[in-house]
Amino acid sequence: MNILITGGTGFVGRHLTKRLLDEDHHVYILTRSPDLYQNTDKTTYISYQHNAKTLPVLHAVVNLAGESLFGYWTRKKKKAILTSRIETTQAVIDLMNQMDRKPSVFISGSAIGFYGTSEDFIFTEGTTKSGEDFLASVVMEWEKTASQAEEMGIRTVYTRFGVILGEAGALPLMDLPVKWFVGGRIGSGEQWISWVHITDVVELILFCLANEHIDGPVNVTAPNPMRNKEFTRTLANVLGRPYWLPAPSPLVRVGLGQMSQLITKGQYVLPRKVETFRYPFRYPNLEGALKQILQSE
């Protein structure tokens, strides 16, 4: 198949591209700087201004681009988080709109931030009420922009990513205090972390590409969320480090600003939709996921 990806040079995009190439697909990577990359017989880099009429028939589009959430959330940073997602998604929508033959499926990256935070509520794809914080508002606008693909008759999937664990992303920030022998729970430790291994992220995207009955929101999380205190304890055990020094929530908020809500608050999110379709998780349990990542470094 011919598959177009935005964000193909990012953390998830790199893993997805490699997997697609292993499956002998041709990957078209939409980027603002195509001249910085070398095309191959199976990889083509194109700009956002590319003429859709000159492209071959694209069977699928995967939209993963967006400003990283990591970093202090200044007003400028928050604007970049929102506008990068909206503008990129709209650019992809405009490109697909120009195509005489539309892709069969559009997978647009999203986030479990849609649900807001809670220590005791269970969120699934059946939860239709969004949260009221900044991240929830970003996801609402993001998915609303992507929904224009549905109006073109394209099967549209909103992959709501949880905390992705891999060699990049959140884990290197989470395991650093543990590696320095000062790891412990954050705040009360009761907040939930809805995590997912990078391998399952990629495999779930492929699962959604292949299954024509899947559409709408899809929670891309492992089936076993962990409370912060248990997550950190497991991380310490895998690294062979002590688990002993808690970090007060106010201290984390001072250091990270509003971004601290990703750590000091939580969400218990379950992947009910893909479980219904019997997706076989490669890493359903945290200990196995962490061992694969950290012991292969």
**Could you tell me which of 297, 183, 171 has the C-alpha nearest to residue 244?**
183
Gap between the Cα atoms of 92 and 103, Å rounded: 12
**Distance from C-alpha of 220 to C-alpha of 204, rounded to nearest angstrom:** 7
Can you give the pLDDT at residue 176? 63
H/E run at residue 161:
strand 155-161
| Range 2-294 has CATH code 3.40.630.30 | no
The Cα 97–Cα 119 span in angstroms is 42
Contact between 138 and 113 (Cβ < 8 Å):
yes
pTM for the model stands at 0.92
Q: What's the pLDDT tens digit per position in 169-200?
A: 777 776 666 665 555 566 677 889 899 999 99
Q: Which of 206-215, 241-250, 258-267, 277-286 has the lowest mean pLDDT?
A: 241-250
Q: Is 250 helix (H, G, I), strand (E, B) or coil?
A: helix
Whether the CA torsion 163, 164, 165, 170 is positive or negative: it is negative
DSSP labels for 183-205?
A: ---BTTS-SEE-EEEHHHHHHHH
Residue 297 has pLDDT above 70, yes or no: no
Residue 203 and residue 31: Cα distance in Å, rounded?
A: 23
Which pair of structure tokens corresponds to residue 65? 């681009």
Predicted confidence (pLDDT) per residue in 107-139, tens digit: 999 999 999 988 789 999 999 999 989 999 999
